[in-house]
Structure 1
Amino acid sequence: MAGEATDPEPEPPRGELGQLLARVQGAGRHAESVSLEAILDSLGQRSFAPFLLVAGLVTLAPLIGDIPGVPTLMAALVVLAAVQLLAGREHIWLPSWLLSRRVSRARFVAVVRWMQRPAHWIDRLLKPRLTWLTRPPAHLPVAVTCLLIALAMPPMEVVPFTANGAGLALTLFALALLAHDGLMALLGYFLTFGTLALVVIGLA
């Protein structure tokens, strides 16, 4: 059909992160632009970890994460998700104005392909360990820490490289929850407080 964008078949995914990226790349497959709602729907049930993964990878990625306003938009996503998780909601609700935000399919596919390069290496590192740092009620301090990251993200847009640190921290927490890998959570905590310290120094 005229006007539809098509993509070549992605390489077979080899691990959990690779499988997630393969599903994400299929979001809005026959449209010229991709909405946040389509991306989240491609990840299945709307739980906290996919929200963190989307926000973290988008903030971390080139072509999209460096666009002014994008880190703040991802911060709004994390704040809404974290507050609802802390309030005890099992399913995350987002307003339509946020779900309807779109990016061109060409740029979206380029970013996903960029993410696929290190995905296989990351999947080899992930495994269940220190699971007491990821299983309930340990997900609550993760949510609080992610909320702190999100609240600090708007000023990060004026402090070089700190938004990338925030994106990496969110990604580590998402991977920790998805793979029950407490080591990733520990790295996320260290990176969070290091990044927040840089923000304070940069704004002082």
Structure 2
Amino acid sequence: MEKTRNDATNLQQLLGQIRESAGSSGQVSVNDILSGVGERSFGPVLLLAGLITLAPLIGDIPGVPTILGLIVLLTLGQLLFQRHSIWLPSWISQRSVPRDKLLKGLDWLQKPARFLDRWTGPRLVFLVDGPGLYVMATLCMLVAMAMPAMEVVPFSANGAGAALMAFGLAIVARDGLLAVVATSLTLLTGWFVITGLLG
């Protein structure tokens, strides 16, 4: 996937772009955020979906993992068909959050972002470019399709959130080693879900 001049190359830059997209109005829409992080926002969408799934009191709400799974499927399906920008239905793109809460959340994420950025960066780039990118997209879509089942297997959605977050950060930072870690999380989560359903 080619980089555009708007694409972030680490998590701190991504948070900065989201902050800039907040503007000065009282509400910030999903469309505002996507516009701020660049036209090819596939990595950031994965990263945000993973963070929301992992978030206490949010990711555990019934139905939330399934909705996030649908968003991931819709987003990555467009990547596989080589769209240059993400299209989302208006009922998603026009959803908004209060600007002050968004900024507080971004402030809270600064410290972990600095930590993660110290440990991520361009490595084994061939794993996150070209065919490698499409392999990651396919794995993420498999995770997304399994998310409804994860609602009945305790804690399995946390594994899915961690995998999506790792894949998203791997794309943003062009970090193939992190993509390998994300793949391992995906396989482990799949084993956990299958064991939980059969048990």
Normalising by structure 1, report the TM-score.
0.83
1:177 aligns with 2:165: no
Residue 83 of structure 1, CA deviation: 1.1
Q: 1:157 to 1:116 in 2, by over 3 A?
A: farther
Q: 1:195 to 1:114 in 2, by over 3 A?
A: farther
1: CA distance, partners of 2:109 / 2:146: 24
User: Alpha-carbon deviations, 1:110-167, whole Å to 9, x = none?
Assistant: 4333332211110000121111111112111001001001111122223222212111
Residue 20 of structure 1, CA deviation: 1.0
Which residue of 1 is the match for residue 5 of structure 2? none
The one of 33, 37, 42 aligned to 1:39: 33
- The structure with the largest helix share of the pair is 2
Q: 1:167 to 1:30 in 2, by over 3 A?
A: same
Tell me which of the two structures has the higher relative contact order, counting C-alpha pairs closer than 8 angstroms and 6 or more residues apart: 2
Give the 5 Å matches for 1:1-204: 16-204=10-198
2: CA distance, partners of 1:104 / 1:158: 31
Which residue of 1 is the match for residue 3 of structure 2? none
Residue 105 of structure 1, CA deviation: 4.0
Count matched residues: 190
Moved more, 174-183 or 99-108: 99-108
Structure 2 residue runs of 5 or longer lacking an equivalent are 1-8
Structure 1 residue runs of 5 or longer lacking an equivalent are 1-14
Residue 106 of structure 1, CA deviation: 4.8
Give every structure 1 segment of 4 or more consecutive aligned residues whose post-TM-superposition deviation is greater than 6 Å: none
Q: What RMSD in Å do the two structures reach over aligned CA positions?
A: 2.1
2: CA distance, partners of 1:71 / 1:29: 29
Q: Is the 8 A contact 1:59 1:65 kept in 2?
A: yes
Residue 84 of structure 1, CA deviation: 1.3
Residue 107 of structure 1, CA deviation: 4.3
SS at match of 2:159: helix
Normalising by structure 2, report the TM-score.
0.85
Residue 30 of structure 1, CA deviation: 3.4
Q: Is the 8 A contact 1:62 1:111 kept in 2?
A: no
Q: 1:101 to 1:68 in 2, by over 3 A?
A: farther
